[in-house]
Structure 1
Amino acid sequence: MKKMIVFAILLGGIIACSGGNDKSKSNSKSATAIDGAKIYKSNCMLCHGDDGKLGLNNSKDLTVSKLTKEERIDIITNGKNTMVGFSSLLDEDEIKAVAEYTFTLK
């Protein structure tokens, strides 16, 4: 009888610990915040620098850019001059997040 009680308590504990908050793993990126800064640092910082001013390989100083969000999205997507496009590496939401992040580089 004692073994049965101990087993029931252990089983209840295992079930309680494993239940948790089971949110569907099918959450899209749009449902979670996309970190434009992180994407910028891993894809753009080499040429534009951490602060957007580096100008390596003739890249533009992002701190003085007058481009609209749509224009920035287009350049990030398709590239321009020596900059390659990122449409094959980043999805639409990630590109938008990077474009929005570039406005903070002032």
Structure 2
Amino acid sequence: MSKPSQRRAVTNFRNRLAEKGLVRFEVTGRDADRDLVRTLARRLAEGGPGSDRLRAVVNQAVAGEPPRKGGILRALMASPLIGSELDLTRPREEGRKVDL
């Protein structure tokens, strides 16, 4: 007995995906994220250096690894205000007296 044509088409489609090293899977998420998830999956499936970089960034973001030390200092040192001789000191005030 032969398989119905729809089932045969699905089987052939999944076999072609497997030959490319891809699998089909289902995820559950918010409707607003549908396009984002599809675009992300498409870019990751393309392969190449761009998808490798994207995969590394997503893995780092999902893993929750702490950022490297010195990031704020590096950003401040790259500021265009370096060497502009701005006086950013504030006068010290004691504050006001409050009757309780």
Tell which structure's C-alpha radius of gyration is larger: 2
Larger RCO (alpha carbons 8 Å, 6+ apart): 1
Q: TM-score, normalised by structure 2?
A: 0.26
TM-score (norm 1): 0.26
